[in-house]
Chains A and B, each alone.
Chain A
């Protein structure tokens, strides 16, 4: 068997299956060499022989043994043959050893080697030939060849051999599909077996199929390996084995001419997999702030970390929104649009020019900031700009729609995924079990948090026990109900008050605005934003105090709290929007007046200069001097930007004062204060998850609302989120303490998402309303001069697309087609809804069924256990009759009874008085031989078996005492 004599270290070259990056890993795999070996056998001879090494051979032989295990075939005949082959191999191995020694020692190896290999090849040929002979009776042919070969020299011989092998293969291919054939192939012993499997031409389709399946199985195994609950060592061994297997036989699966292609394909899949893995590595490396969040997680538990994960998610979304607006709107306009100062809408008006660069004005986003790409008004209504013919108005419109659509998509998709993940829970049947097994937060790595967690677990257990013991207290319930109603009433009062306050403030500010902002103080100018921020800051605290009345479970309390703050913010936001609408209407009236004025102004202008120039506007007028309308879109955008800025500022300032300064104060004044500041009143602050999440959500809502009128908003928001990520991470680590009642937050994630969705809907509503119903300003923005903003679509359809397209579109958009389509959609939604409802019902039904079945099982088990006990009793009696020496037995019995009774006190109830016979049986094997058998019979005869566990459980029931005993 010259298998090893033909192992080559260079054989790697001619296959090229290895991955470039992992050479040392893979090239040391024995199986590769094995595979190569076979090819090498056929193709390359002497050159490689010189290079083989000791170690490789050893590896190969080891791997051969492994393969033996791997490819155990059920065929008996084959096994027999393999045995034969083994003995062959042994002799071969001996030879190999000798050969190896010879190689190492002698300097002029070549000749001896040749001789040895000569012998080996001869042997192999003989074997193969003889088998051929047996099968087909072609002895002469084979022997002739053999003789030929013997006469030949080394290299010639090798070539001959390869030829011959090919011939043989050919023969076999000709005679394929006979059973005899396959068995014959296999009986060439192990090595030949392998050889054959690498030679796909010689395999029958069946075998190929089987091999393919095996390889696929292995591949699957490799994929799911990480999910196997095995110790690491076993995993590693299995992985290596199956990798080897796959490597080895993958090559065998290609057929004939397609072989090269197959090898290529395998290679490409490997490369692809490696690429995927690298990409995965890269991607996880790209997730920002992972370590920060993990650290926070370990300090504060998962609820605080969930806020930061949410923040990061938000950041991602805003990045994309920012990319859209920045890349498709702002940059093209800045690069290709008309420059600043070219037309009136792009210049600061003369009246404002003096103060346009003042910081106070810029901070308010007036002056130069107002007349820049940051706001709607700056954009020109030129249909195509620059050398790219970029359709600016269209792009502006589509980006506005696209951001909203994208946000909807992302939020809904995330919600659906979350629902899938945690959709099963929600029944209370495992209350205590869950408390016991899942209450620990495995992410906690901070002693203080751990202490709090221990305390909260203990109290939750006590609460649950109390609840269990006295399921309802009458006198208490009235009180709590009253308190809860009172609390809700108070909260409603707060909400109404804050709503009125905002409305009042907005009205007042409008009055101020009409008077002219310059006459008022800073406070009066920023009243609206400040009041809104302050309300957002203090009302939640108030709610917190109120919710102390209600005495809810912390998670329920959190949801109530969230709901209330949500209502507060929403109310505030909508008052703000309504006020804005009022302002828009005011501006539009103003606009009409301005329009009229402009026409008169133009007319007067014409009248003055008509003698000189009669066509168009005179060139002498500076764009800054042209009177213009009040551009309500820019005003709306400015309002939102200001709101965001003031909101951000208040958040940061609260953070610094409320958390940082408080912490500093408590920390450093503690030793010179009259009471313990750390434990007493001010103490350190806790991280307020709900408030922060809501702040984030509302912030996002404002972004969605205002992004259409101020394309800079997503950019601002990205900046804000980025800063607050670092700031809050730092603040939470340095000046907050873990929550007293630490609880996990995974369940409430979808709650946040639902709120986000509601906010998304509510914030897109006014934006869409304004876009659809209010005509755009006549002299600013990309849609100026159109009746409605969405007319830009119509325009594009008419002028940029071929005529037939707009025709088709007009057909498609006529009500006769649209209405049925909408109807169809409603029907589909209704259908899906009803099916999901029925699924839900079926689910509930199944749950019920399962429960009843469980109970029935319990009952039946009890009955079966009783019956078995009776049988046992009888058996025991019988045994006792046979038994003579009772005295020695009695103490044993007492012993056993104790054990038995304790182990099955629940299932057997009071009936634990029977000693399990086979325990005794093990102690007194000689005399008690028949007893267990009768017991087993009785056991199998019990009628109460249910499919599934009963039988098993009975066995277990009786096995345990013996286990405990020994």
Chain B
């Protein structure tokens, strides 16, 4: 029943939604009821979400969970969970992905990717193996390349303009 609505809201088929639901439930069988007809208010803490194999090795897992969770702290309801996988799935269009990618890289939630965000991104990507000078240089380069309105940080438009041209972005 529910999946019928969710099919309109996500890029999944009914079977996939059910599969995701079981995945969700398997994370904490004692917390999540099998019966979702009454929309129980269940949230799984970030520790559980982040331990999924899909996210476990992702350097941005915490950000992803935070962006998609409703409370902004990584605790997810089933809806959030489905939403996350819908956006990350292959079927989601570039624009949508770009939007959420922007949110993920925007660590301090100020709607701009500024230098500190970039530094964090870089350090997560390379596990702090670049020296400070290198990090700074890369950040400057990035802003120099992608900042169209020259305000020293990347807005969503800048980001989209840059990212949709990337040959590797779709995957």
Contacts and interface: CB of A to CB of B under 8 A. Distances in A.
Contact of B171 (A229, A445, A744): A744
Given A440-B125, A445-B56, A953 B171 contact: no
A352 to B, nearest CB: 55
B43 interface: no
A226 B8 contact: yes
A235 B4 CA distance: 13
Max count, chain A CB within 10 A of own CB: residue among B92, B95, B101, B165: B165
B143 A226 contact: no
Contact of A436 (B5, B77, B122): B122
Interface residues of B, number: 70
A432 B142 contact: yes
Nearest to B135: A461
Contact of A236 (B9, B121, B129, B165): B9
A430 B166 contact: yes
Contact of B57 (A436, A450, A950): A450
A16 interface: no
Given A232-B82, A436-B138, A963-B110, A953 B151 contact: yes
B148 A949 contact: yes
A857 B122 CA distance: 28
A518 interface: no
Interface string A723-757: 00000000000000000000010110000000000
A435 B126 CA distance: 11
B88 A222 contact: no
B96 A227 contact: yes
A910 interface: no
A422 interface: yes
Contact of A25 (B1, B105, B141, B165): B1
A444 B162 CA distance: 24
Contacts of B164: 424
Max count, chain B CB within 10 A of own CB: residue among A225, A298, A454: A454
Interface in A894-951: 903-907, 949-950
A746 B142 CA distance: 23
A862 interface: yes
Interface stretch (A108-116, A160-168, A277-285, A400-408): A277-285
A802 interface: no
Interface in B44-101: 53-54, 56-60, 70, 77, 79-80, 82-83, 86, 88, 92-93, 95-96, 99-101
A407 B140 CA distance: 49
B145 interface: yes
Contact of A457 (B125, B157, B159, B163): B125
A935 B5 CA distance: 51
Given A25-B1, A232-B80, A458 B137 contact: no
A433 B142 contact: yes
Interface string A229-241: 1011101100110
A359 to B, nearest CB: 46
Contacts of A949: 148-149, 157
A907 B148 CA distance: 12
A117 interface: no
A491 B83 CA distance: 51
Max count, chain A CB within 10 A of own CB: residue among B13, B125, B127, B138: B125
B35 interface: no
Nearest to B14: A281
A240 B168 CA distance: 36
A421 B13 CA distance: 23
A22 B127 contact: no
Contact of B15 (A25, A227, A285, A446): A285
Max count, chain B CB within 10 A of own CB: residue among A225, A433, A435: A433
Interface in A413-441: 421-422, 424-427, 429-441
A266 to B, nearest CB: 18
A361 interface: no
Nearest to B13: A281
Interface in A283-335: 284-285, 298, 302
A83 interface: no
Query: Contact residue range for chain A?
Result: 35 or more
B163 A438 contact: yes
B138 to A, nearest CB: 6
A771 B164 CA distance: 48
A239 B8 CA distance: 8
B150 to A, nearest CB: 5
Interface in A454-469: 454, 457-458, 461-462, 464-465, 468
| Interface SS of B by simple majority | helix
Interface string B3-18: 0111111110111100
A284 B13 contact: yes
Given A438-B163, A438-B168, A232 B129 contact: no
A231 B15 contact: no
A235 B7 CA distance: 11
A957 B88 CA distance: 33
B42 to A, nearest CB: 14
Nearest to B99: A229
A615 to B, nearest CB: 71
Max count, chain A CB within 10 A of own CB: residue among B8, B79, B110: B8
Contacts of A222: 8
A454 B125 CA distance: 6
Contacts of A905: 152
Nearest to B133: A465
Nearest to A232: B79
A810 interface: no
B32 interface: no
Contact of B167 (A422, A862, A903, A953): A422
A231 B86 CA distance: 12
A905 B115 CA distance: 12
B13 A746 contact: no
Contact of B137 (A227, A421, A465, A952): A465
A443 interface: yes
B13 A280 contact: yes
A841 to B, nearest CB: 19
Interface in B1-43: 1, 4-11, 13-16
A952 B158 CA distance: 14
A573 B104 CA distance: 51
B171 A862 contact: no
A858 B150 contact: yes
Contacts of A862: 150
A25 B56 CA distance: 37
B152 A907 contact: yes
B152 A438 contact: no
Contact of A437 (B5, B105, B134): B105
A227 B93 contact: yes
B8 A422 contact: no
Given A231-B80, A233-B79, A457-B126, A434 B141 contact: no
Contacts of B15: 281, 284-285
Contacts of A904: 151-152
A226 B86 contact: yes
A31 to B, nearest CB: 15
A421 B151 contact: no
Given A233-B79, A424-B164, A432-B141, 19 more contacts: A25-B4, A227-B92, A228-B96, A232-B79, A239-B5, A239-B9, A284-B13, A284-B15, A429-B145, A436-B118, A442-B88, A447-B57, A454-B125, A458-B129, A461-B122, A746-B167, A747-B167, A906-B143, A950-B149
15 contacts: A24-B1, A227-B92, A227-B95, A236-B5, A236-B6, A425-B165, A430-B162, A433-B163, A436-B125, A437-B162, A461-B134, A465-B134, A468-B141, A746-B167, A857-B149
Interface of B: 1, 4-11, 13-16, 53-54, 56-60, 70, 77, 79-80, 82-83, 86, 88, 92-93, 95-96, 99-101, 105, 110, 118, 121-122, 125-127, 129-130, 134, 137-138, 141-143, 145-146, 148-152, 157, 159, 162-171
The 10 residue pairs across chains A and B that have the minimum distance between CB atoms: A425-B167, A232-B79, A450-B57, A906-B152, A432-B141, A949-B149, A458-B126, A232-B83, A235-B9, A953-B149
